Amino acid sequence: MQIAMRHVGWIFLGLCACPPPDDGEPTTSTSGEESTSSTSSTSGGDTSSTSGDTSTSGDTSTSGDTSTSGDTSTSGDTSTGGEPACVQSWVAPDIETCYAPAVPYVQVPGVGLVLAGDVDQDGHADVIAPGAAGGIAVLLGDGAGGLAAPVFTAVDAPTSAALGDFDADGLPDLVVSFAGAAPRIDLLLGDGAGGFVVEESFASGPTVGTHLATGDFDGDGDLDAVAIHQGVSNTTPKRLSSITSAGSAAWTYAAQPLTMFVADVIYSAWTPYLGIGEFDGEHLDVIVATDRSVEQPHRLRSDGLGGFTYLGKLVPNNWLLGSLPIVPLDVDGDGDNDIIVADKAGTAALRYVENLGGDTWAAPVISSLPGPGKQQLAVGSLIHEPRPDLVYTGNQGETLVRTIEEDGDIVAPNLPGFGIGYVRGFALADLNEDGWSDFVSVGVAAPNTLSVRLSL
């Protein structure tokens, strides 16, 4: 299956997303054999993440090599090759999907962010859990679906992290934000064995960076990073900061206020959101938003000097008031990224806005979906059929899977949808290299175990 994406860093099966039992994990029932399916904050309430297979997320999604630019795709054979391991009961009986039971790997208390990429450059996807007890945990993949014991890099508890190759040596690196009395953003270079070493540290106060994203925003061929910072009532506005690379060997930090927000948002505690996307076929832009219902996403573009120029609202006509997270995705296959976004907090809906080119947009297609307050969106290949699939989490960590139709409708044959777990954060990564997305997640209940469900 081919998912057309440009510059973006992821159905009911006779399966129910049942309320979690006392330990917070879901009970999943089927009518037959059992089956299931970058910018990111590590705080428990925010479960945005990046993914490491051929998928894109509502934040700074990455794909395999953890780059945030270039096209990404997923592939797989839609035939079953005989009797599948498990068959679900669909309205459309030709659609089948199977997922193995969750395999637990390591307890990562407090982690709400999962990243994936090829950390050791052996051709296999690895898993990164920033904020794990002991620092940043890296579990190296073996290409057959297994993960090794975690390698830890000792750091303070981060608030956000994003992957990218900042020094152009072929190894994924990390940019990580930290809170505390003196907020900072660190650039950590990968050592190729699962560890990271601090290369630069930038003072980023007075407020912490809550989401990070990576990409070549100034178009010079080097990887840069951006962060969004919370405001403080009547004193400090929300800010966008950037780390700009020069020749992949030196980095410069800069910050600017986000004055385009309405007055009570600029200095308030409304949750800020950061995303990236290419919508004109040329520039990788930054998207900033909040969960305030009177505010909508705004778009900024690099000025080539470390700063960003305000371009205006992402789309016109107040279509996306209070909407986030945002996923750029070429839904209709015309070569331009369209937009999939969760509706404003408190509503159980997702919106698709078609990119008509020339900064013009079609009116939104609204899909009513269970689970208000979507915390994370990601696109991948979970259903064994040609269309891409959307994975999303609700307020309580309930995580469902739907199929994205070519007209932008996000559907399932039956309600409430294919439920895959209750999680704080997840990533999609093809760990067993079968062409389908595997589900890597951190459980919503203590002790927050990182586990994997493999596609069969």
pTM score, whole prediction: 0.81
Q: Give CA separation, 305 vs 224, 257, 302, 436, in Å.
A: 12, 16, 7, 40
Is-contact 187 199, C-beta < 8 A? yes
pLDDT of residue 372: 72
Q: What is the largest CA-CA distance in the chain?
A: 65
Sign of the C-alpha dihedral computed for residues 243, 379, 405 and 81 taken in this order: positive
Closest CA to 116 of 196, 38, 8: 38
Q: Give CA separation, 378 vs 332, 375, 436, 441, in Å.
A: 17, 10, 14, 13
At 239, give phi and psi (nearest 5°).
-135, 155
Kindly state the tokens that stand for 34: 């059992």
Provide DSSP, 366-408.
EEE-SSSS--EEEEE--SSSSS-EEEEE-TT-EEEEEEE-TTS
At 263, give phi and psi (nearest 5°).
-55, -45
Q: Give CA separation, 235 vs 159, 248, 272, in Å.
A: 22, 35, 16
Check residue 318 and report its DSSP letter.
T
Closest CA to 374 of 399, 409, 355, 352: 399
**pLDDT tens, per residue, the chain with 456 residues:** 444 443 333 222 222 223 333 333 333 332 223 222 244 444 433 333 333 444 455 443 333 333 333 333 333 333 333 344 444 433 343 455 568 889 999 999 888 899 999 999 999 999 999 988 778 999 999 999 999 999 999 999 899 999 999 999 999 999 999 988 899 999 999 999 999 999 999 999 888 899 999 999 999 999 999 999 988 877 788 999 999 988 778 899 999 999 888 876 777 777 789 999 999 999 999 999 988 888 889 999 999 888 999 999 999 888 998 888 999 999 999 999 999 998 877 788 899 999 999 999 999 999 987 777 788 999 998 877 788 989 988 888 888 888 899 999 988 645 445 678 889 999 999 999 999 999 999 999 888 999 999 988
Sign of the C-alpha dihedral computed for residues 326, 331, 333 and 338 taken in this order: negative
Apex 260 CA angle, 257 and 265, nearest 5: 85
Q: For residue 305, count CB atoms less than 10 angstroms from its CB and return exposed for 0-12, middle for 13-18, buried for 19 or more.
A: exposed
Q: How far apart are CA 445 and CA 136, in angstroms?
A: 20
126 pairs with which residues across the strands? 117
In the chain, where are the structural domains located? 158-259, 286-366
106 pairs with which residues across the strands? 450
* Dihedral (Cα; 413, 419, 424, 428), 10-degree rounding: -70
Count of Cβ atoms closer than 10 Å to residue 395 Cβ: 13
Label the pairing between strands 196-203 and 209-215.
unpaired
